[in-house]
């Protein structure tokens, strides 16, 4: 079967943008959200077949696929609720970390496949949701249940213009720990460091600094969850990063011109090779 109706739990930036994309492709979209003002905004957008704040009413709509689009900790709570209600329909999610979510879904015996759309904005909520957020973006799948219709889930995302890739949940958390979670810690710390060392410097920032720290303007709920959920990997990455910073400090203190030049040349060359 191909999914013809999608029930989205959580109508924020990601859930709202998926709803827009699926609606554009002619699918029936149902929405569940606990926030009255979000439901009111979503109703005005004219995307949903039905909207509710009640999980039982939502499940009665019998969507072909349940798509959980809330932060990591809330995702785990939803998985437990769905399991408690005896849901057997396919379930997927869009949370930013995958190991603990997939482990829990496995323990609960849900018909689950993890997912993570690599897309976002520095604003959140349904009002921030847009058409085209996922155009040409990568969607990572981290399979769990054996009988899950993975090909249909792949086709669903390819149908809205995404590039689907499959990996284990642990691999996902190392990859995105490296290129997303660690960079966020470094951006938060950088803003803190400047604020501590020379706050007036912020008034001289140009495009470079603004680009560099753009990701520091992130949603606190989402990122608290990510750091706490992917804690072991993030801690290991911070340790690796601190060791490298210490060696920069040493090379500068030693005036080791040759080594500094070589390190910049190498980092610059790696960075240039990123498409």
What residues numbered 66-125 form the site for a copy of itself, per CB under 8 A? 118-120
- Both tokens of residue 12? 């924020």
154 binds a copy of itself (CB under 8 A): no
Beta strands 138-143; 112-117: pairing state = antiparallel
32/185 with CB nearer a copy of itself: 185
Buried b (16+ CB within 10 A) or exposed e, 116-130: bbbbbeeebebebbe
CA–CA gap between residue 78 and residue 34 (Å, rounded):
12
How many CB atoms lie under 10 A from the CB of residue 154?
17
Sites for a copy of itself among residues 255-274 (CB under 8 A): 255, 257, 260-268, 270-274
CA–CA gap between residue 14 and residue 193 (Å, rounded):
31
What are 142's strand-pairing partners?
114
Binding mask 124-153 for a copy of itself (x = CB under 8 A): -------------xx-x-------------
84/202 with CB nearer a copy of itself: 202
* Cβ-proximal residues to 124 (8 Å cutoff; 6+ apart), any chain: 12, 13, 219, 222
Sites for a copy of itself among residues 174-203 (CB under 8 A): 174-180, 182-183, 185-198, 200-202
62/214 with CB nearer a copy of itself: 214
We find the least distance from the C-beta atom of residue 189 to a copy of itself, in angstroms, to be 4
Alpha carbon 206 to chain centroid, angstroms:
28
62/246 with CB nearer a copy of itself: 246
206 binds a copy of itself (CB under 8 A): yes
112/227 with CB nearer a copy of itself: 227
**How many binding residues for a copy of itself (CB under 8 A)?**
87
164 binds a copy of itself (CB under 8 A): no
| Helices first, then strands: H and E counts in the chain | 12, 8
Sites for a copy of itself among residues 7-46 (CB under 8 A): none
């Amino acid at each position: 079967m191909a999914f013809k109706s999608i029930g989205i739990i959580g109508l924020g930036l990601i859930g709202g943008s998926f709803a827009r994309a699926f609606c554009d492709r002619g699918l029936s979209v149902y929405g569940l959200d606990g926030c009255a003002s979000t439901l009111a905004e979503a109703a005005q957008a004219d995307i949903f077949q039905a909207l509710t704040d009640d999980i039982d009413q939502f499940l009665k709509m019998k969507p072909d696929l349940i798509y959980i689009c809330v932060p990591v900790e809330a995702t785990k709570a939803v998985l437990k609720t769905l399991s408690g209600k005896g849901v057997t329909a396919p379930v997927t999610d869009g949370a930013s970390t995958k190991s603990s979510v997939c482990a829990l879904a496995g323990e609960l015996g849900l018909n689950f496949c993890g997912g993570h759309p690599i897309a976002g904005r520095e604003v959140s909520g349904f009002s921030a949701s847009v058409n085209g957020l996922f155009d040409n973006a990568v969607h990572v799948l981290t399979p769990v249940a054996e009988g899950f219709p993975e090909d249909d889930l792949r086709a669903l995302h390819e149908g809205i213009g995404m590039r689907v890739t499959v990996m284990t949940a642990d691999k996902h958390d190392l990859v995105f720990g490296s290129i997303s979670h660690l960079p966020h810690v470094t951006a938060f710390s950088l803003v803190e460091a400047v604020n501590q060392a020379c706050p007036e410097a912020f008034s001289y920032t140009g495009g470079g600094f603004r680009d560099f720290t753009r990701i520091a303007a992130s949603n606190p709920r989402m990122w608290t969850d990510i750091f706490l959920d992917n804690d072991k990997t993030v801690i290991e990455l911070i340790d690796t990063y601190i060791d490298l910073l210490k060696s920069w400090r040493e090379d500068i203190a030693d005036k080791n011109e040759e080594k500094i030049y070589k390190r910049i040349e190498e980092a610059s060359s790696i960075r240039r090779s990123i498409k």
